[in-house]
Amino acid sequence: MADRKQFAKTTAPDPELAALLEAARGREVTEEELHEQRVSFAYGNALNSDSITKESVRRTSQNIRLRG
């Protein structure tokens, strides 16, 4: 199998990215952010359908309720 040069060496972490990750570590996700993540996930799994837009997923998500 061919060697993957981009994985041959380890690099030092980006200090700016490390600082952002550390700042985000203790932050709680809001319900609105969680809902938007779900919409994005559903839209991303729509298999490039021309009839499905992110807005149509957002509207549909308002009508779907899980039974608990």
> pLDDT for 11-64, tens place per residue?
888 999 999 999 999 899 999 999 999 999 999 998 878 889 999 999 988 887
Q: Do residues 43 and 52 lie in contact, with contact meaning Cβ atoms separated by under 8 Å?
A: yes
> In this structure, is residue 21 part of a structural domain?
no
Residue 67: pLDDT above 90?
A: no
pLDDT value, residue 14? 93
Question: What range does the domain containing 58 cover?
Answer: 30-68
Residue 8 maps to a domain: no
Taking alpha carbons only, the member of 58, 13, 12, 53 closest to residue 36 is 58
**CA angle 32-36-42, nearest 5°?**
145
**Residue 23: its pLDDT value, please?**
92
The count of structural domains within the chain is 1
Q: What is the structure's pLDDT at 18?
A: 94
11 within a domain of the structure (yes/no):
no
Provide the pLDDT for residue 22.
93
Is there a domain that residue 54 lies in? yes
